[in-house]
């Protein structure tokens, strides 16, 4: 716990048998009250490794997507009565040791969303981020800041901490089930005026980690631009979107059986 608040670490995973144990063991002890892992249709031993580590394990019967994994994890974490949720990728890309700092910014500083930014103080390229990915990240982030009226250093990090109230109330079940889910969540926070904080996080790239390749990366980038356009359309009243409807479906309504 932190300041009497219950903390959950959630891990959406796909074929992470080789990195999951390393990630869990790097988490500082005594902070996380619950560690939840959702397997999104892995063909390796990820589920067996997770169970061997004593995690709360949930498994999709087929691959539903990264966003769908988060929906399942958020729903299950809320059912445990947690106050703060920190998403740590089980491929060991982000430093698990920063988890307490991420949670502290929610618990002590009052942020609803905290982003572990790889670009806040530079160093992403030195950490091994592919140059094409760095350029795309910077282009998308600058474009999205202009479109959404924000000033974030990075829109595209997967290292995040959330207040339970944010996860409970945003219409996250309306979001896509793929990687664009992350981008839509930030757009929702901006639209609803929820406070966002950033923490510098070193980039780390190596052979065993999961990363989006060029083709899917192009699809993701187009999805992010579409998210910015949907926010602009909703704000101006030109095209209303369920993403920004406060009465939209929350993750409490999410079930695995929903289509992609």
pLDDT number for residue 260: 43
Whether 211 has a pLDDT exceeding 90, the answer reads no
- How far, CA to CA in Å, does 70 sit from each of 59, 87, 147, 182? 12, 9, 26, 9
Residue 138 pairs with which residues in a beta bridge?
Answer: none
Contact by Cβ (8 Å): 36, 13: no
Comparing C-alpha atoms, which of 2, 20, 68, 6 is closest to residue 210? 20
DSSP label at 3?
A: T
Class of domain 7-245: alpha beta
Q: What is the DSSP string of 224-252?
A: HHHHHHHHHHHHHTSS--GGG-TTS--GG
SS3 189: helix
Residue extents of the structural domains in the chain: 7-245
Calpha distance 142→164 (Å, rounded) = 29
Q: What is the mean pLDDT of residues 81-109?
A: 97
Instruction: Give pLDDT, residue 122.
Output: 78
Q: Write the CA distances from 145 to 134, 148, 223, 237, integer angstroms.
A: 16, 5, 15, 20
Nearest alpha-carbon partner for 248 in 207, 205, 196, 191: 191
The mean per-residue pLDDT over the stretch 33-49 comes to: 97
What pTM value is reported for the model? Answer: 0.94
Which two three-digit tokens encode residue 50? 């997770």
Over pLDDT 70: what percentage of the chain?
97
- The Cα 187–Cα 189 span in angstroms is 5
pLDDT tens digits along 192-208: 999 999 999 987 777 66
Helix (H, G, I), strand (E, B) or coil at 11: strand
Q: Using CA atoms, how far apart are residues 43 and 211, in angstroms rounded to an integer?
A: 17
Q: Answer whether residue 150 shows pLDDT above 80.
A: yes
Q: How high is the pLDDT of residue 173?
A: 97
Mean of pLDDT values over 229-245: 96
Integer Cα distance of 1 and 226 in angstroms: 38
Mean confidence (pLDDT) of the chain: 94
Q: What pLDDT is attached to residue 207?
A: 63
Look at residue 127 and give its three-state secondary structure.
coil
């Amino acid at each position: 716990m932190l300041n009497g608040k219950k903390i959950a670490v959630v891990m959406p995973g796909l074929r992470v048998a080789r990195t999951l144990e390393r990630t869990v063991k790097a988490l500082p002890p005594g902070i996380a009250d619950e560690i939840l892992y959702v397997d999104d249709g892995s063909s390796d031993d990820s589920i067996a490794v997770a169970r061997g580590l004593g995690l709360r394990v949930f498994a999709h019967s087929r691959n539903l997507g990264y966003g769908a994994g988060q929906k399942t994890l958020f729903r299950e974490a809320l059912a445990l009565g947690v106050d703060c949720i920190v998403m740590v990728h089980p491929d060991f890309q982000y430093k698990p040791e920063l988890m307490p700092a991420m949670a502290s910014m929610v618990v002590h500083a009052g942020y609803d969303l905290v982003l572990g930014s790889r670009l806040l103080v530079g160093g992403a390229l030195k950490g091994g981020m592919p140059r094409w990915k760095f350029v795309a990240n910077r282009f998308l982030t600058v474009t999205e800041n202009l479109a959404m009226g924000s000033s974030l250093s990075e829109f595209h990090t997967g290292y995040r901490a959330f207040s339970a109230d944010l996860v409970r109330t945003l219409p996250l079940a309306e979001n896509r089930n793929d990687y664009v889910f992350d981008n839509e969540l930030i757009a929702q926070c901006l639209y609803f005026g929820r406070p966002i904080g950033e923490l510098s996080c070193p980039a780390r790239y190596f052979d065993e980690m999961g990363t989006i390749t060029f083709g899917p990366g192009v699809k993701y980038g187009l999805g992010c631009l579409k998210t910015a356009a949907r926010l602009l359309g909703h704000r101006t009243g030109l095209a209303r979107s369920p993403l920004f409807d406060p009465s939209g479906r929350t993750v409490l309504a999410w079930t695995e059986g929903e289509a992609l």
